[in-house]
Amino acid sequence: MPRPAAFLAPVLLILLLLLLGGLGPRLAAAKSPPGVECVLFNEEYMTCTWGSGETLATNYSLYYWYENRSPVAECKHYLWDRGVRVGCRFNQSEIVQFQPFRVRVNASLGGKTLEIASERMELQDLVKPEAPVNLTIYNLSSNQLQLTWSSPYPKAQCLEHAVKYKSNKDTTWTEHKVKGEIFSFPSVDYEKYYTFYVRSKINSYCGSTRLWSEWSVPAVWGSNATGKGAAEEQLHWFWIHTVLVPVASCLLLLVLVVLLVRMERVWVILMPRIPNPSKNFDELFITHKGNFQEWAGVPKDVVESFKPNYSESICYVSELPPKESHEPLWEGGEPQPAGPGAPAGPRERGPYKNSYVGA
């Protein structure tokens, strides 16, 4: 039968790990930050940071001074993260190169003073230049390229550069150190296309820094892209599809709406609509039920005067019985013509034997 201790040991170990996991961040927050890191960006401004909002539990204050030059001063522009001070920003007017620079960061937490000891810094060794710009590729010959660029750093003579490149069939990058702002690529394959990057740092004549700038925007050359033109063409189509087309569509729709409104006004002026008189005769058909004389307000005596006031006699029609008559016979059976004094004989009968006389 197994002992109970064999089951309790793993449970206690898990509880201990959970307890340490919960106290770990609190203990780390109670400790002083590991140190202050200052970086001078392109000699335009400087930041000194000592942690993040996740690792700090209280606000620290930074004090700085230049040896034998200025009194101690507190940071004027703190950097914040999640409501906690994590750094300080120095403007260009507050930066003095080639003078020993010291900082002190401290805070009060639970009655204890947390402090970072003063450190001596040389600002010329903390310069981080801005990334190079305007990368351009030229064809010098059938198999040689030349890459040029420019740097936003104000002291170009204090810079050294690094160029890295690879083709679409390479698996690793090739990097070269360059002193000037020109790099020659002696051999190219026209069946490949190449990608180039450039970065810069302060050289040994102006400082002893290890801070490189960020890599530049890439420049490409080859069968699928002709130098910078391919990147520009891609950017051109990107702006066309994402910006120009929607904006142009909206403007066209707006113009069509305006033209439609204006054309409707012009059409009304040229071809005015025929007014509908039905509303004016609602009273005639609804209230007076189609009685025009009543609707028009004609007096009743006038209406009565227009009514017919006469009578007609009845005419009776009857049929007379036929009368018997004998016509005289002439000699020879032929009728003799009548003389000038002879009376006229009877007229021939018409096709109708009966005659009608009105009484």
Query: How would you write the pLDDT of the chain (359 residues) with one tens digit per residue?
Result: 445 445 445 545 555 554 444 434 433 333 445 688 999 999 899 999 988 878 887 888 999 999 877 788 999 999 999 888 999 999 999 998 888 999 989 887 777 888 876 678 889 899 999 999 999 999 887 778 899 999 999 888 999 999 999 998 888 999 999 988 999 987 888 888 899 999 999 998 888 888 999 999 999 988 655 444 445 555 666 677 777 888 888 988 888 888 777 776 666 666 666 766 666 666 666 676 667 666 666 677 766 666 666 666 667 777 777 665 555 544 544 555 555 544 545 444 545 444 444 44
Structure tokens at 44: 């335009």
Structure tokens at 53: 């909002």
| Residue 45: count of CB within 10 angstroms of its CB | 16
Residue pair 148/140 in contact by the 8 Å Cβ criterion: no
Structure tokens at 279: 């509303």
Per DSSP, the three-state class of 37 is strand
Tell me how far CA of residue 101 lies from CA of 72, 88, 96, 215, in angstroms. Answer: 11, 14, 8, 29
Cα dihedral 178→230→129→73 (10° resolution): -170
Q: What is the pLDDT of residue 195?
A: 92
Structure tokens at 126: 């903390």
Question: Would you tell me which CATH number, out of the four given (3.40.50.1820, 2.60.40.10, 3.55.10.10, 3.40.50.1980), belongs to the domain 33-127?
Answer: 2.60.40.10
130-226 CATH: 2.60.40.10
Q: What is the pLDDT of residue 46?
A: 95
Q: Would you say the C-alpha torsion 350, 354, 356, 359 has a positive or negative sign? A: positive
Q: What is the pLDDT of residue 130?
A: 94
Structure tokens at 151: 């740097």
Nearest to 230 by CA among 247, 242, 216, 218: 218
- Residue tagged 């003799």 (tokens): 336
- Residue tagged 């439609």 (tokens): 260
Q: What is the pLDDT of residue 241?
A: 72
Q: What is the pLDDT of residue 290?
A: 65
Query: Where do the CATH 2.60.40.10 domains begin and end in the chain?
Result: 33-127, 130-226
Residue pair 48/87 in contact by the 8 Å Cβ criterion: yes
CA distance 134 to 146: 13
Helix (H) or strand (E) holding 191: none
Residue pair 142/187 in contact by the 8 Å Cβ criterion: no
Nearest to 180 by CA among 160, 164, 165: 160
Q: Where do the H-state alpha helices sit in the chain? A: 4-30, 228-239, 245-270, 282, 292-296, 300-305
Q: What is the pLDDT of residue 40?
A: 93
